[in-house]
Structure 1
């Protein structure tokens, strides 16, 4: 857990990094949490992994190096926004521990609060949800390199929070993330 260094207690910016398999519920939680935080008067920005990849990282593929570059780019943008008082919600797969750690370290160096939330949904549940049809396409041999199916996902060892979406509602998951943010650091977010 990274806390702001030398920031006044009323400072409100920070990054909530939601990582997990495709169709785990990351974006659903981020959108629900954004609505709740906005209702509380917070400045919030959701940096959805799919949208950012299309707009900021369209030049990248899905190799390990390209995925790492994509995560670091998103982390950089999140850190900039957070340093200016925005609560940034980042629902991205971010399959590699080294990339996630680099983003955490970057936030720490800037004195920007950072919370890692592992959206821990079993791959079978994700495949059943298959929001984008990725698991079905992978099973049919149309695509390869799907995280959690035929490409690795390195489960976070010590996230700030682990949310199990398969046994709770979206609202319960949103409340869980919201609670850990306000419990651990009353001044953030």
Structure 2
């Protein structure tokens, strides 16, 4: 039996090191195992391919998110489930993307800055604190948390499995699964 699939964008936002990519990967595997067609737009990969040349000024970050949102919109309207993993630090541009995409679920991957710094496998926070990286979100550039996301995952208190279950349960509750 073929599943009835609705196009949907699931937008994972949060600080670097909060667990967006890890959660995204597990949600992707679960959805694929259930038979859903899924595409992943990870900000780091999109920046290398679609947004090369953009810097980290507010204008460039906003443009990066708009481009990711545009691709997510195209896929969503063609009944693909799109998983976006992007810091997307500014509320206004996240809301702009939300307005463009009919089926949009925002997942706030919430973890305190101190925990994100402890998890920092790339050493980016250390470089930002030393002044080697400028405009780093959470250090010398703001992160504006969502006011009312559909889902909030507290990755400092929940395991990835618990957060995944929370995401899938909410998607089922909203009628997407």
The TM-score with structure 1 as length reference comes to: 0.90
Secondary structure of 2:82's aligned partner: strand
Number of the residue aligned with 2:107: 117
Q: TM-score with structure 2 length normalisation?
A: 0.95
Residue 44 of structure 2: SS of its match in structure 1? helix
Note the C-alpha offset of 1:130. 0.4
After TM superposition, give the deviation of residue 25 of structure 1 in Å. 0.3
Provide the C-alpha distance between the structure 2 equivalents of 1:81 and 1:141, rounded to a whole number of angstroms: 39
**Which residue of structure 2 aligns with residue 79 of structure 1?**
73
Give the equivalent residue in structure 2 for 1:173. 163
- List structure 1 segments (4+ residues) > 3 angstroms apart after TM superposition: none
Query: Residue 156 of structure 2: SS of its match in structure 1?
Result: helix
| Residue in structure 2 matched with residue 142 of structure 1 by the alignment | 132
In the alignment, which residue of structure 1 is the partner of 2:146? 156
Q: How does 1:83-94 map to 2 (within 5 A)?
A: 83-94=77-88
RMSD of aligned Cα (Å): 1.2
**Deviation string, structure 1 residues 11-48 (Cα, Å, up to 9, x no partner):** 42100000000011001001000000000000001100
Within-5 A mapping of 1:1-189: 10-107=4-101, 112-185=102-175, 188-189=176-177
- The farther-off stretch of 11-20 and 39-48 is 11-20
Offset of residue 168 of structure 1: 1.3
Alpha-carbon separation, structure 1, partners of 2:174 and 2:78:
21
Q: Secondary structure at the match of 2:54?
A: coil
Contact 2:16/2:116 (<8 A) preserved: yes
Tell me how far 1:131 sits from its aligned partner: 2.5
